Structure 1
Amino acid sequence: MDAFRLLHRLLAAGAPAMLLALLSACSGGTPPPAAIEPAAGEACALDGMLLADYPGPKAQIHYASGPPEYFCDTVEMFSLLLRPDEQRPVRAAYTQDMGKADWREPRGHWIDARSAWYVHGSRMQGSMGPTLAAFARAEDAEVFAREHGGQVLRFEQVTPDMVDLRGGADHGH
């Protein structure tokens, strides 16, 4: 039986729950993996720096295979996610909500990186200099920008030029 006939029979039989299950199975509807708190002594995937040794929001990327990769700041996460040559499928990306986490020693408070609000150009420093502060709530990002400078952006508004690790973001890796 072809997919169209199966779909028609499901609708005719009044089985919307079964249809939803079928559609989610066809679309690979597995939920993204949850954020995982980095282990003590976890190092940055790009430069080997220990995450716990530096201030500011950290990040993690979960690829389709393998363990998550951790980053000592959001600039590194964005530099990978916005790279046109990045070929590995990303299942999830997380950063820390600086509306709740302590800037000097952020722990926990992981949020979906794609739905976060960011402040670009603030006076607050991350692991290697300027970074993008991340927030779950727009109001927290706006308060941070008023106090520390910078512009409030959504994920889609962050450009590769803002996170260029070749010196454009003061990252001397």
Structure 2
Amino acid sequence: MLKHFTKRAKGTRAILFAVVLVLLWVGVAAASDGKHPKAGLKPLDENRQMQVSHGDHCPVCGMNSIQYPKFNCAIQLKNTDTYYFCSVGCMIRSWMHPEIYLGTPGDMLERPIVREYFSGRQMDARDTIFVYGSDVIGPMGPALVPVLDERHLKVFKKRHGGKTQVLLEDLNDAKWYEMTGRKMAE
């Protein structure tokens, strides 16, 4: 009797596993056209602030962006489509290689938005300094942390360390690899 129950339980688990896989596949297929990731449900508001929704997923890693309120960020395109990211690293990869991660040419990029570390204020990523190699861990591991200016950078490094600081305009594939030890487009 127990042997029969065990076989039946294994069969039921296999069926449940298959159903879960199908549901996951359907969810992923519905989230995009199969070629490009899906933009966020809402664009930036009139004050250039993020409107992250429960259905918004990071186009790089697939994480639900709303679950990481201290780290989530965005890229707005010229047509106002807005992509929400779980972390600055995913956003920067998309900013540097939008054709790979967003399925759009670079000339369509309008505005990168990040949360400044100390205040949480949402601001243009081009107006911040990014720190890498600190003790701050984000959803994807060691975080790229945006700080407002040199004064904030000094305070941040005193509290959290940091091996490298860089402006968005100075980032390229070689600098990314030097900082992270990973290729930008992996």
TM-score (norm 1): 0.63
CA distance in 2, matches of 1:58, 1:92: 15
Tell me by how many angstroms 1:146 deviates.
1.9
Code of the aligned partner of 2:59? A
Tell me by how many angstroms 1:65 deviates.
2.3
CA distance 1:140–1:82, change in 2 (3 Å)? same
Code of the aligned partner of 1:91? E
1:110 and 2:128 aligned = no
Cα deviation 1:63-90 (Å, max 9, x = unaligned): 1225200011111111122228561411
Tell me by how many angstroms 1:137 deviates.
2.8
The answer to whether the Cα contact below 8 Å between 2:130 and 2:147 also exists between their aligned partners in 1 is: yes
Code of the aligned partner of 1:112? D
Tell me by how many angstroms 1:125 deviates.
0.8
Count of matched residue positions in the alignment of Structure 1 and Structure 2? 132
CA distance in 1, matches of 2:144, 2:160: 12
Counterpart of 2:61 in structure 1 is: 47
Tell me by how many angstroms 1:48 deviates.
2.1
CA distance 1:127–1:55, change in 2 (3 Å)? farther
Give structure 1 stretches of 5+ with no counterpart: 1-31, 102-108
Q: How does 1:40-119 map to 2 (within 5 A)?
A: 40-54=54-68, 56-65=70-79, 67-83=81-97, 85=99, 87-88=105-106, 89-101=108-120, 109-119=121-131
Give structure 2 stretches of 5+ with no counterpart: 1-45
Code of the aligned partner of 1:83? H
Code of the aligned partner of 2:141? G
CA distance 1:142–1:34, change in 2 (3 Å)? same
The answer to whether the Cα contact below 8 Å between 1:78 and 1:163 also exists between their aligned partners in 2 is: no
Cα deviation 1:47-68 (Å, max 9, x = unaligned): 2212233475222001122520
CA distance 1:162–1:38, change in 2 (3 Å)? farther
Relative contact order, higher structure (CA 8 A, sep 6+): 1
Using the TM superposition, name which of 37-46 and 63-72 deviates more.
37-46
Secondary structure of the 1:143 match is helix
Using the TM superposition, name which of 82-91 and 128-137 deviates more.
82-91
1:35 and 2:53 aligned = no
Tell me by how many angstroms 1:153 deviates.
2.2
Select the residue among 158, 167, 171 that pairs with 1:154.
167
The answer to whether the Cα contact below 8 Å between 2:88 and 2:144 also exists between their aligned partners in 1 is: yes
Query: Greater helix share, 1 or 2?
Result: 2
TM-score (norm 2): 0.59
Code of the aligned partner of 1:98? Y
Counterpart of 1:142 in structure 2 is: 154
